[in-house]
Structure 1
Amino acid sequence: MSNRKLFYLNGKVQHYAWGGFTYIPQLLGLPVSEQPSAEYWMGAHQSAPSTLQATSGPLLLNQYIADQPAEVLGTKAAERFGELPYLFKILDVKDMLSIQVHPTKAEAEKGFAAENEAGIPLTASNRNYKDANHKPEIMVALSDFWLLHGFLPEPQLRKVLQAVPELQSFAPVFEKEGYKGLYKAVMELPQEEINTLLRPLADRVLPSYAAGTLEKSDPAFWTARAISNDPEGLNRLDRGIFSIYFFNIVNAKPGDAVFQDAGIPHAYLEGQNAELMANSDNVLRGGLTPKHIDVEELLKHTRFEAVYPNILKGESIHNGQERIYPTPAPDFVISRIGLKPGEVYEHTAAAPETWIVLNGEGVVKGSAELPLKKGVSVFAAIGESYTLTATTELTVFKASIP
């Protein structure tokens, strides 16, 4: 066992309500059921660790790493992180996710310690911090993908505040108090005022949405969808609607990537992606969700600045066989390996790697020989030298440490 460094990995499907029903089961070769499949987790997060198929039987990935951190992660990563520093996921977004912000590392450590001290159980619905880590993340679109990403630049936001009758009263607030004053004003509104204010907007956008005349680049489309999908409907209009108008609506095409750093407010709206993040589940929510919203905490961690969306196209490496998407995050890097039938990719893992085969078939040979097909995941510890051979056209997404 000790000299083997290459394993099949079995991840965990998360059945959150916003997920689709077919994409993840079809990817993994599982039966489609009544239960939504929102995320497929490949990693060692304590709440849902993956399992390795070892010679001696199933082995939890977090246990395998804890038993020999330097051998699996490498000395540097073992000293710096003490655990697998990334969490790799496949997402299928059918309904909009909550508007959210992730804290910095220092703030996560403080928040986690404070909630522990207050005796709030880790599983409590009013818990903000599930761990002591930051959660920068990158997503690579696997389909036509839509998301909200950061505040609109000032000229565009001014235009929106003028053009939408229900938002005009906030234009002076933005002029005087900037992004923070504007966001604080809407996030702290009493629910009755939100209902009164946004009801005419709802009445205007819903018929157009039902008629199919709204473009997805129009905030009215997502506003109408949010109201239509909310069991509360028009009785309790969601304060997250303001964010749909205040944030950039970004459309990423397959292969496009978007990086979300700490403090950038965002929300996934629709589509499938491969997502890689620091090993954390810390989320501060700001609407479009029945989950816990802590406005004070959210405002404390949001970066109140214009964001100019940066769609990352990646860089070609390894003689064009691999496309890598560098980010400022020290915890992770994602890349896509694409091979034609008969093509061979040779590599020595300079850090622990986690892969998922998105399509095609092949075989990887190293300290073990593993046939590959769609939906299969593999874990390679640091130092593993392997040869990946494609039998049909093969696409593999790979998570590693830069």
Structure 2
Amino acid sequence: MYRLTGSRRSYDWGSTTSMPEFLGGEPDGTPFAELWLGAHPTGPATVDTPTGTARLDEIIEADATTHLGHEVQAKFGRLPYLLKLLAPVRPLSMQVHPSPEMAKAGFHDEESRGVPLADPARSFKDEHHKPEMVYALSRFEGLVGFRTKTQVQNLLSRLNGPATAALDTLTSDDDSAPGLQNTLRQLLQLNTTDVEHVVAGCRELAATSSDPEERTAYGTVDELARFYPGDVGAVVSLLLNRIVLEPGQLVFLGDGTPHAYLSGFGLELMANSDNVLRLGLTSKHIDGDAMLEALDFTSSGYDVESAPKGAVTHVFAPPVPEYALSISQPEHMDVPHTLPGDGPRILICVDGTVHVMTDGEPQGLTLNRGESIFVPAADGPLTIKGSGTAAQAFVPE
């Protein structure tokens, strides 16, 4: 087992206090948005070895079979998932992730054209898709998935002026998929003056509507516009569902699902990729054509999952082959509990203290809140005991 030191990301939307408090450190006054616990080459975690500090991706590559196991090595050729701690204090970019086919084609196209990986105008950072899920460690808010066509139509129908053209495209098409696609195209054409007009209308409706869902939808537009004045992403939020996750709840976001995280603190588990196509709420590059191609306009809504009460271990298993997440709370402090999974695993203590053991390291390691480890496949079954809660990322069978 290797103790991990995560790779810090100090994006401007990050909280200055949530991450240090969780990790048991002192805030330094700068945003601490994400902590990457994985082997992505642009931000690998590090481990201490007898010869010094080493990158986790290099440790794995040096002996892939030992660290990944035969099956994971044969299927993926690398650690296929990335675990993060996520601490937004204000909205981050509205975005979507491409399918595997689109990611591979887009990456190789930009490579063939010589677009540097660090170029701000680059759309595809690697050739992999990025389905992800968020497990809330505090109250967590976001925008996830398209509303139904009827919901969008009702919201737009109470607005006038610049929003009228978008409403017309929606009501003129009986098929929800192209209807929402054309509506989004119309909204993305709004200029700054148009956006301000729609925002003003939403602000008024948020204050006067008797419908709680309408107040939330229109209020979200006003809220986002205060962070990103003139940004069309605030208006686009009318097409998306606003959700609240309480601690212990999880939402999965498949390829093509639009989303934006607004606030809170949680674990984010995803395929090992950094491909992000943005719709708005950002000063970064927006590739409109790629974003529209990546979006799945045939689906709407979202599903929030919770672990059953009293479960010692619950597995959140999304419909992807790269990862699953187990949440474990040992019943008895001194009785070892065996966790699922036997390949490459990353485990983090999210509350209290746990003691972890493997066949390869029977004496084990003690982890306090915020501390994490990488467990190679060759170490065999992982057991824990203690009085805390552990979250484990692993590759499902």
Verify the 8 A CA contact 1:338 1:395 in the aligned structure 2: yes
Aligned equivalents of 1:321, 1:199: Cα separation in 2: 47
Correspondence for 2:319 among 328, 332, 343: 328
Structure 1 segments unaligned to the other structure (5+ residues): 1-5
Aligned to 2:168: 172
Residues 353-393 of structure 1 show CA distances to partners (whole Å, capped at 9, x for unaligned) of: 10111121232233333121111101101142343221xx2
Is 2:354 the counterpart of 1:359?
A: no
> What RMSD, in angstroms, separates the aligned Cα atoms of the two structures?
2.3
Letter in 2 for 1:374: R
Aligned to 1:292: 285
Q: TM-score when scaled to structure 1?
A: 0.89
Is 2:146 the counterpart of 1:151?
A: yes
Aligned to 1:394: 388
Aligned with 1:184: secondary structure?
Answer: helix
Aligned to 1:3: none
Aligned with 2:157: secondary structure?
Answer: helix
Correspondence for 1:381 among 370, 376, 379: 376
Aligned equivalents of 1:186, 1:149: Cα separation in 2: 18
More divergent stretch after superposition (291-300 vs 37-46): 291-300
Aligned with 2:377: secondary structure?
Answer: coil
Aligned equivalents of 1:216, 1:397: Cα separation in 2: 36
Letter in 1 for 2:337: Y
Return the offset for 1:251: 1.5
Aligned to 1:48: 43
Return the offset for 1:344: 2.2
Verify the 8 A CA contact 1:315 1:325 in the aligned structure 2: no
Residues 23-46 of structure 1 show CA distances to partners (whole Å, capped at 9, x for unaligned) of: 111122222012111111000000
Aligned equivalents of 1:239, 1:117: Cα separation in 2: 32
Return the offset for 1:55: 3.5
Aligned equivalents of 2:377, 2:17: Cα separation in 1: 34
Aligned to 2:176: none
Correspondence for 1:39 among 18, 22, 34: 34
Is 2:103 the counterpart of 1:97?
A: no
More divergent stretch after superposition (100-109 vs 114-123): 114-123
Letter in 1 for 2:232: R
More divergent stretch after superposition (27-36 vs 124-133): 27-36
Structure 2 segments unaligned to the other structure (5+ residues): 174-178
Residues 1:73 and 1:361: Cα distance change in structure 2 (over 3 Å) = same
Verify the 8 A CA contact 2:342 2:377 in the aligned structure 1: yes
Aligned to 1:281: 274
Letter in 1 for 2:198: L
Letter in 1 for 2:240: F
Matches within 5 A, 1:161-310: 161-165=156-160, 167-177=163-173, 178-195=179-196, 197-198=197-198, 200-201=200-201, 204=204, 218-230=216-228, 233=229, 237-310=230-303
Return the offset for 1:108: 0.5
Aligned with 1:218: secondary structure?
Answer: helix
Residues 281-337 of structure 1 show CA distances to partners (whole Å, capped at 9, x for unaligned) of: 100000011111111111111111341211122468xx9321111111100111111
Identity percentage of aligned residues: 30
Verify the 8 A CA contact 2:249 2:304 in the aligned structure 1: yes
